[in-house]
Amino acid sequence: MEEERNIQPETGNQQSTPSTSEAPRKKHIIREYAESIIIAALLALVIRTFMVQAFKIPSGSMEDTLLVGDHLLVTKFIYGTKIPFTEKWIIPVREPNRGDVIVFEYPEDSKNPALRFWQKKDFIKRVIGLPGDRVMMVNQVVYVNDKPYKIPQEIHKGTSMGPPELYNFPKLVVPAGHYFCMGDNRDRSHDSRFWGFVPKENIKGLAFILYWSWDSEKNRVRWDRIAKVIH
């Protein structure tokens, strides 16, 4: 900003007086900027905590529904949100349904008190079993409540030497307040078959739309995936 100067007449017996308006004006501008930054930060915190949060897909466990390099938005209020630093929850719109694609804190990290919150990983999987459901897998076919559960998003890309849990596991009953989750890429997903059920309090939200997608192998934007609704 160009500095303002007061020009005084050159008289022998009149002294110049310094401007008193510049300092208050600078303080006023600084205060306005500070207030704007604080309000923007608080608004971003509220949106991220209670409404929507962005996530990036780092692995292929949800192929072909979600690809490596996809960026998606997760709605947080639909299942209810825990109020920070309290044990209270905002009333959910609904409970998770079978088939929902959810983001949650990795249960094994939640059990480790040595991890700080920034060290804990977030997973994204599809809900297969609800509280009280009976879930099992026989020869790569998932059964829920003794009936085959097949979905169009399920794929089998194979693996050179996978553990037995990939193809078969005995009947399990999902406990109250928990969910059984699997990746759509059945043969290449580290999910509830290996580390158990997802507690309700670990769920961060429902994945609902892609807002960006980058193919690092071909070094290009996947324009056809942007704004794609997640099913």
Which residue type occupies 22? E
Phi, psi of 131 (to 5 degrees): -55, 130
Please confirm, yes or no, whether 125 is among the known catalytic residues.
Answer: yes
Q: Are 140 and 132 within 8 A, CB to CB?
A: no
Which listed residue (61, 189, 192, 213) is catalytic? 61
| CA distance to 9, 11, 22, per residue, from 6 (Å) | 10, 15, 11
Helix, strand or coil, per DSSP, at residue 142? strand
Please confirm, yes or no, whether 21 is among the known catalytic residues.
Answer: no
Q: Are 197 and 175 within 8 A, CB to CB?
A: yes
Q: In sequence order, which residues have a C-beta less than 8 Å from that of residue 92 and are 6 or more positions away?
A: 77, 78, 79, 80
Q: In sequence order, which residues have a C-beta less than 8 Å from that of residue 85 and are 6 or more positions away?
A: none
Which listed residue (76, 125, 200, 204) is catalytic? 125
Nearest to 66 by CA among 223, 188, 205, 185: 185
Q: Which helix (H) or strand (E) holds 33?
A: helix 22-46
User: Among all residues, which ones are annotated catalytic?
Assistant: 61, 125
